[in-house]
Structure 1
Amino acid sequence: MISVTDGDPLLIAHRGFAGENPENTVRAVEAAAGSGGADWVEIDVSPTADGDPVVCHDAALSGRGGPLGTPADRGLTDATGLVWETDTATVTAAEVLDSGETVPLLATLLDAVPEHVGVNIELKFPDGGPVGDHAGGTLDPDALAARRAAWRPFVERVLETAEARDGDLLVSSFHEGAIAATREVSNVPVAPLFSEAVSDGLKLARRYDAAAVHPPIDAVRGTPFFDASRFGDADVVAAAHDAGRAVNVWTVETWYEAARLESAGVDGVIADYSVV
């Protein structure tokens, strides 16, 4: 369960420990849940042109360098096109980072996660393309109603699949529309992701009674990584804990970062590597 803890922070495998495994694949989550020792796995879920939830971070099937030292002109997969404009058969046949693994359906990946390991689903790219929500921001009532409605069909598909699995589940997103739609159709715990204003992230957490907040590493006050020029006097850990919400921080790369974050009182580290 995602909650405030006095013990060691939860180890949350970012895309199935993307620094050491082909990200968001069955192999990645099997390794993360097994020898990687993850308490949770974090995955990215977006729709294909057929509306099927697949596990893929990028909007495009190609066009960016990946982890594991791949060159900048190497695409995430050997296919091309935007995920939400591409049929399911093509997306799920796309090979990820020359690994022999392909982009999985959400249902297929969830079958590979043991019951004792929680799953954090990050919702991405509904409604046939990128949404207009500002990452980490809040929406006015009219915009919120429109974005919640746009997200709802995809959210329903995702939750129908995910809630059939035994084990802990958390839904996170940078987009208020996604969190609002999740709250509208389910009691599954939610967590707003944000990269800018802490106040917006905390406001969304209050609005949707979130179980946790997911700030970036440089938003955590009391660490060497804190960026006062961006976050001022904000103390996201104290504010979240005062409200009974956990703080899970992204993206953690080293044992040093993890140790400093633990000292600052965070509840989970969303990490690219299993040894942090």
Structure 2
Amino acid sequence: MLRRTCVTTSAALALSVAALAPAARAEPAAPLVIGHRGAAGLAPENTLEAVERAHRAGTSWVEADVQRSKDGVLVLMHDQDLARTTDAEEVFPRRAPWKVGDFTYAELNRLRAGASPRWKGSRYETARVPTLGQLLDRLDRTGQGLLLELKWPGGHPGVVRDTLRVLGRKGWLDAHHVHHRLYVISFLPAALRSVREERPDIRLGICDERVSPGELASYARFADSVNPEHTATTGDFVRRAHALEGPHGTPLKVWPYTVNTAGQARRLRDLRVDGFTTDVPDAMRRALGR
């Protein structure tokens, strides 16, 4: 009887000590790895080939930039001019400064989007400048989600409605795409507010290199995610963002850009960001143990 009492007392003491011990901190969830401009480190940026490489790397979301051609076709291109990523200087030597909006789609289709020195001699050298419609068709085949950045919208009046028109024509404004596979993002708040006026159900993301904590509350009024430069992302910033709700009633997501080293990826994971964009999604997935 004495022995049983001692054992019982020892067990109770152990439980009491365990209750007083601090709870082990849960491991942070792996953030979503988003292919930047498709997968700009694996194939020419903003091309269907880059989207395919991101898909082969197991990346379920990609980011891409949209602009408008001279004749109103929405194409994928990051820079305001064509010189860095295409052979426009060679094909159209007298058309400097090679602004995207100065060329028709037929002219843009003559260019090689893989003509930069980086891709010279590779199987991607002849990649073309795709349209937004072609991108959406490809994503419907791969099943990937899209962060669609309205690039330089101030220089393309009406580009928001043009973009929504293409999204609608391709079936990307139905409930499934809008709720599970689409964010529209931009550095220009006015462009995002225009999207919200037309389609309040679409989730939006504001891009800002260095967002101050004080700006988060104003962004949460119209955006569901905030996309800062990764070096400016801190634990305090992430906590403040997650304490706010976006217009669709969920915590404000934090998706920094552009993360290309294992150390950067692990630091952001430990800060509990929701995701990040990267040029090399295959390497970043490996860095996070995927």
TM bin (shorter chain): 0.7 to 0.9
Does 2:183 match 1:170? yes
Deviations 1:200-246 (A, max 9, x none): 752442231x2211011011114xxxxxxxxxxxx321111001111
Q: Please say which structure displays the higher CA radius of gyration.
A: 2
Letter in 2 for 1:254: T
**Partners of 1:55 and 1:24 in 2: CA distance:** 6
**Partners of 1:31 and 1:271 in 2: CA distance:** 13
Correspondence list, 1:263-274, <5 A: 263-274=270-281
Aligned twin of 1:17: 39
Runs ≥4 residues deviating over 4 A: none
The unaligned stretches of length 5 or more in structure 1 are 1-5, 63-74, 131-149, 223-234
The alignment yields a C-alpha RMSD, in angstroms, of 1.8
Instruction: Determine which of 198, 216, 220 is the counterpart of 1:202.
Output: 216
CA deviation after TM superposition for structure 1 residue 125, in Å: 2.1
Residues paired across the two proteins, number: 223
Aligned twin of 2:122: none
Deviations 1:18-63 (A, max 9, x none): 0111110011111212x1111200000011112221100010010x
Give the conservation status (yes or no) of the 8 Å contact 1:47–1:126: no
**Partners of 1:256 and 1:30 in 2: CA distance:** 26
Instruction: Determine which of 120, 134, 143 is the counterpart of 1:108.
Output: 134
Give the conservation status (yes or no) of the 8 Å contact 2:213–2:240: no
Identity %: 34
**Partners of 1:200 and 1:270 in 2: CA distance:** 24
Deviations 1:85-125 (A, max 9, x none): 22121123221122211111100111111463110001012
The unaligned stretches of length 5 or more in structure 2 are 1-27, 90-97, 116-124, 245-250, 285-290
Aligned twin of 1:159: 164
Instruction: Determine which of 19, 40, 52 is the counterpart of 2:73.
Output: 52
Does 2:111 match 1:94? yes
CA deviation after TM superposition for structure 1 residue 261, in Å: 0.5
Higher helix share: 2
* Superposition TM-score, scaled by structure 2 size: 0.72
Does 2:48 match 1:26? yes
Letter in 2 for 1:257: Q
Instruction: Determine which of 189, 209, 227 is the counterpart of 2:203.
Output: 189
Give the conservation status (yes or no) of the 8 Å contact 2:211–2:228: no
Letter in 1 for 2:145: G
